[in-house]
């Protein structure tokens, strides 16, 4: 069966510090991968998605970036965090064509920027 | 404009009551997909259902049922005989074929009171 992991589970970082969140998927090959952010009291905002190694599509221009160095690894990064980057970050994967198929979500990372 | 509206921000019902969560969408696409996801307190989103725009049949799965009506652009979700474990935030989402992107509603927080 497929499993999706995210770490860390929680993170408190000062403004201006770098960020690296990691997501890995097990039990499937060539998944579509997604990063979402959920701000308090708001819905999910798609940040990035990837249909293959090195292929990243950005939905929202901001100081975050994503990379996919391996087939089942998706990394969300920032060089300098802003207060507005606080939120709950969710990684997800889907098997079929990007977006059309159901997505399976990881447990999330709660990021607080102080 | 393409969007998903979940007008009910928060609903509270007593256990065993039926409850309907509304979802109204807006799109110019003729081919699109609708989804419902559940986010329990643990934070991880769980896929519930996917419907494509050409399939207007209603769906029933145990205590859950979905009513898709293209005429009113709605995809409502009903929980029959609610249980405390149904307490969660529920998200409706729309994927548009032409734009190749998914949009989530802001969610409805459902409280089932014992």
Per the listing, tokens 């408190």 go with A12
Residue A39: what pLDDT?
84
pLDDT on residue B1? 63
Looking at residue A61, its pLDDT comes to 63
Instruction: Inspect the interface and report whether the beta carbons of A42 and B33 lie closer than 8 Å.
Output: no
CA-based torsion, B85, B87, B89, B90: positive or negative: positive
Instruction: State the count of interchain CB pairs (< 8 A) between A and B.
Output: 47
- Report pLDDT digits (tens) over B42-99: 889 999 999 999 988 888 999 999 999 999 999 999 999 999 999 999 999 999 877 7
Which pLDDT score is estimated for A43?
Answer: 82
Q: Which residues of A touch B43 (CB under 8 A)?
A: 88, 90, 107-108, 110
Q: What is the 3-state secondary structure (H, E, C) of B21-64?
A: ECCEEECCCCCEEEEEEEECCCCCCEEEEEEECCCCCCEEECCE
Q: What is the pLDDT of residue B2?
A: 67
Residue B65 in contact with residue B81, Cβ under 8 Å?
no
Nearest beta carbon to residue B102 from set A46, A104, A110: A46
Mean pLDDT of A37-50: 86
Q: Smallest CA–CA separation between B40 and chain A, in Å?
A: 11
**What H or E segment, with its residue span, contains residue A58?**
strand A55-58
- With contacts defined as CB-CB under 8 Å, which chain B residues touch A98? 100
Q: Is the pLDDT of residue A24 over 80?
A: yes
């Amino acid at each position: 069966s497929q499993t999706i992991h995210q770490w860390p589970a929680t993170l408190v970082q000062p403004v201006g510090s770098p960020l690296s969140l990691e997501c890995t998927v097990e039990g499937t090959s060539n998944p579509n991968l997604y990063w979402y952010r959920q701000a308090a009291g708001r819905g999910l905002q798609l940040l990035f998605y990837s249909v293959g190694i090195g292929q990243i599509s950005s939905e929202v221009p901001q100081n975050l970036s994503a990379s996919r160095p391996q087939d089942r690894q998706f990394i969300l990064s920032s060089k300098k965090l802003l207060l507005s980057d606080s939120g709950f970050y969710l990684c997800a994967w889907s098997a079929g064509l990007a977006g059309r198929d159901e997505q399976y979500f990881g447990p999330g990372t709660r990021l607080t920027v102080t | 404009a393409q969007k998903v509206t979940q007008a009910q921000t928060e609903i509270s019902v007593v256990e065993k009551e039926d409850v309907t969560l509304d979802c109204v969408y807006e799109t110019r696409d003729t081919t699109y997909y609708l989804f419902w996801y559940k986010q329990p307190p643990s934070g991880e989103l769980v896929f519930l259902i996917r419907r494509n725009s050409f399939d207007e049949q209603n769906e029933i799965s145990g205590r859950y049922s979905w009513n898709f009506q293209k005429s009113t652009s709605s995809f409502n979700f009903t929980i029959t005989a609610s249980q405390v474990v149904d307490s969660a935030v529920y998200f409706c989402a729309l994927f548009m074929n032409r734009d190749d992107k998914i949009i989530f509603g802001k969610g409805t927080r459902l409280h089932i009171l014992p």
